[in-house]
């Protein structure tokens, strides 16, 4: 009876071989599950990054469309109402900035003077952001984030605007062509 108790006492735990086999199986199962998770999560993250870029591009393209649409309503009239200024010209200094000129003053002359009384709006990339500045009034604000490049090409009677946005390892370029006023 005493030898039976010692045999039962020895059989209460697991052997080293049993623990090793179970540990190996758990490691294999964990590797399979992690590979499956990575396979499912990677497309989800890439879609999330692309949506983020599309939202930023939408903001940037809306700002360009608003300013290139023909008139500017940034300036206030003498009575406090918004005064419309007619879009009269654009230029691309160094191919990395877009300057837009809006005719202003009490008697608009229809010519881009690039200074007062005209209003000059500029777009440029600063620290991965697209910044819109009113050079006449002195104000500026960030239009879109994650902008890695603004490339402008003069096509004679129009300008080609190529805006490249990048977030992590996802990059997208949007191109628009604007005609001269």
Position 1 scores a pLDDT of: 56
Domain range summary for the chain, segments of one domain joined by +: 48-179
The highest-confidence range among 37-41, 43-47, 157-161, by mean pLDDT, is 157-161
**pLDDT given for residue 112 in this prediction:** 84
> What are residue 142's DSSP bridge partners?
131
- Dist. CA 58–CA 144, nearest whole Å: 9
Q: What is the pLDDT of residue 105?
A: 76
pTM of structure: 0.72
Confidence of residue 79 (pLDDT cuts 50, 70, 90): very low
Q: In residues, how long is the chain?
A: 181
Report residue 144 CA to chain centroid gap.
6
């Amino acid at each position: 009876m005493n030898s039976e108790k010692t045999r039962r006492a020895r059989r209460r735990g697991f052997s080293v071989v049993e623990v090793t086999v179970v540990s190996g199986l758990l490691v294999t199962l964990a590797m399979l599950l992690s590979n499956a998770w990575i396979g499912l999560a990677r497309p989800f993250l890439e879609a999330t990054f692309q949506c983020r870029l599309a939202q930023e591009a939408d903001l940037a393209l809306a700002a360009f469309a608003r300013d290139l649409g023909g008139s500017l309503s940034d300036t206030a009239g003498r009575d406090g109402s918004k005064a419309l200024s007619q879009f009269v010209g654009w230029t691309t200094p160094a191919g990395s900035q877009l300057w837009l000129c809006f005719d202003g003053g009490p008697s608009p002359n229809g010519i881009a003077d690039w200074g007062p009384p005209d209003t000059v709006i500029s777009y440029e990339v600063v620290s991965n952001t697209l910044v819109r500045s009113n050079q006449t009034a002195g104000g500026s604000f960030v239009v879109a984030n994650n902008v890695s490049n603004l490339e402008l090409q003069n096509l004679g009677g129009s300008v080609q605007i190529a805006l490249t946005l990048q977030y992590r390892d996802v990059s997208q370029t949007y191109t628009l062509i604007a005609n001269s006023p």
